[in-house]
Structure 1
Amino acid sequence: MAAEGDIGLVLDCERRIVNAWPSPATLLIGDWVVRFAGGYSGRANSASPLKPGAELDEATLLLIEELYRSDGLPPCIRLTPLVGEATLAMVKARGYAVRDVSFGLIRSLADIEPSIEPDLQIEARPSPDWIAGVAARQSGIKADAGKLAAIVDAVRLPAAFATWLVAGEPVAFGMSVAERGMAEIGSVVVDPAHRGQGLGRRLIAGLMGWARAMECRQAYLQVDQTNAVANRLYGSMGFHQLYAYETRVLDLAG
């Protein structure tokens, strides 16, 4: 999951993720953050530990399950390296099934110049065009521009909403949020007609340049372990694995 010496850095990332990708509704229950965003994105609709060794007793887990069911969502738990052993065992014993597996990646920004290419347009707030552009290039619930807007409109920290233009046409999108020396990178999408041209790489490099200009020392992100293309790209750009985690869900009928 993560080396013992990295737990502090894992905690730094996990706490910042709550602010970089804010849910419309968020509860703090003990050492856990419980988030609701109408089902849009796993991070924004799950319970996550915010302290090394964080535990849930059975009554609290049942409360969290009821909160999700009341919202029409399956109970969802992110099992990061911060979760306590007893809770890990309890979640598995209750029949929570693995929905997806992810990596938390990180890299230093010490070698990055604080510069941005002219074809990369960066805005401090998410415009309707940026939201529509991201939603239009995704599928399923992630194509819901309204649910995406509810998340990104809630960002209150310094942010970059990036659009890559080719001959004035927006073809790639991404975002970054800076907090206390670290920048989260996410929502990177490239129009299918323009893939394979290195635009995702250049867009991510631009977001790292923005982060460096914001005096961030590190950039971090989360990626599905099964996304081989994205993992190769991030690895080639200097990101390395900090931790791995599972997102598990309990069927609504359970």
Structure 2
Amino acid sequence: MMLTTNEDSQLALECERRIINAWPALSTLVLGDWVLRFANGYSGRANSATPLAYGAELDDAMLDMLEELYRADGLPPTIRLTPLVAEATRAAVLARGYRVKDASFGMIAPLAGLPVSEEAELQIEARPELEWIAGVAARQSGVKTHAGNLAAIVEKVRLPAAFASWLVEGEPVAFGMAVAERGMAEIGLICVDPAHRGKGLGRRIVAGLMGWAGAMDCHSAYLQVEQSNAIAISLYRSLGYRQLYAYETRILD
């Protein structure tokens, strides 16, 4: 996806660089302008190669090395094709038969003037408690139900963070997290118990985290959402987010 302005191009780059710290992998390797991340297969971002500069290239030898490293770790080679990737590298990845695993949008919203939530039902902790980890894992699917692998990632966060829960009659039923770095905060892991969906709890969690980010002197909040998730996209737009860029995560079977 081509970005429309120089400002948006810079914002996309800043988001992509911060994502590495906001959602840390268990192991990372730097390969030219790329970072290769490994986290036991939990989540796409933490187990894929991500470009960190415009025009990032992978030649044949680098692609061979990348594929060997992921296979040695028991993972399929996975590459995030963001707007930072050089066109020749994008073409080379497709020529090797990498298929689309998922397609996502990067979205961003301003935070100026947002109030800090004072709702008693919103509980925010600076570190991920065991109850928060178990609650999130229980409301995921597939490999993301593995609480130990989730804990291994979120416990590595070293930046100011907020781990949010929404309580109903004292029980946590909705969750989310945010990580602040140099004026920008990523919002992620938004999930609501199926029995409590349709009540606006996802909105309250996101709004609460945005208020927290504003109190941390962040000027913007950003997030990533699957392009097929129309309900979430509509929610985020209603909270002031706009689409900044699009990308594909491609996997080699």
Q: TM-score range by the shorter chain?
A: over 0.9
* Amino acid across the alignment from 2:73: D
User: Which residue number corresponds to residue 112 of structure 1?
Assistant: 114
> Which of the residues 144, 147, 150 maps onto 1:148?
150
- 1:4 deviates by 4.4
- Counterpart for residue 3 of structure 1: 4
SS of 1:114's partner is coil
Q: How far did residue 191 of structure 1 move?
A: 0.3
Find out whether 1:31 has 2:33 as its counterpart: yes
Equivalent residue, structure 1, for 2:51: 49
Q: 1:176·1:184 contact (CA, 8 Å) conserved in 2?
A: yes
TM-score by length of 1: 0.97
User: 2:128 is matched with which residue?
Assistant: 126
Q: Could you say what secondary structure the match of 2:152 adopts?
A: helix
Aligned partner of 2:86 in structure 1 is: 84
Instruction: Give the partner amino acid of 1:71.
Output: D
Matched, 1:219 2:221: yes
How far is 1:198 from its partner? Answer: 0.3
Query: SS of 2:186's equivalent?
Result: strand
Would you say 1:161 and 2:163 are equivalent positions? yes
Shift of residue 167 of structure 1? Answer: 1.1
Q: Which residue of 1 aligns with 2:192?
A: 190
- Which one-letter code corresponds to 1:245 in the other structure? Y
Query: What is the rounded CA distance, in whole Å, between the counterparts of 1:114 and 1:190 in structure 2?
Result: 21
**Matched residues in 2 for 1:248 and 1:64: separation?**
13
Aligned mates of 2:108, 2:123 — CA distance in 1 = 24
Residue pair 1:115, 1:213 contacting (<8 A) in 2 also:
no
SS at match of 1:185: strand
Secondary structure in structure 2 of the residue aligned to 1:69:
helix
4+ aligned runs moved over 4 Å, structure 1: none
Which of these residues, 133, 140, 143, is aligned with residue 138 of structure 1?
Answer: 140
Query: C-alpha distance in 1, partners of 2:205/2:16?
Result: 24
Superposition deviation, residue 7 in structure 1:
1.4
Give the TM-score normalised by structure 2.
0.98
CA offsets per residue over residues 64-96 of structure 1, 9 Å max, x none?
A: 100000000000000000000110000000000
Q: Give the gaps of 5 or more residues in structure 1.
A: none
Q: 1:172-227: CA deviations, max 9, x gaps? A: 00000000000000000000000000000011100001001100000000000001
Deviation at 1:161, TM superposition (A): 0.3
Contact 1:55-1:87 at 8 Å conserved across structures: yes
Residue in 2 that maps onto 1:230 = 232
1:165-184 equivalences under 5 Å are 165-184=167-186
Aligned length: 251
Q: Following the alignment from structure 2 to structure 1, what is the Cα–Cα distance between the partners of residues 219 and 53?
A: 23
Partner of 2:209: 207
Question: Does structure 2 retain, via aligned residues, the 8 Å contact 1:178–1:211?
Answer: yes
SS in 2 for 1:44: helix
Give distance in 1, aligned partners of 2:152 and 2:133. 10
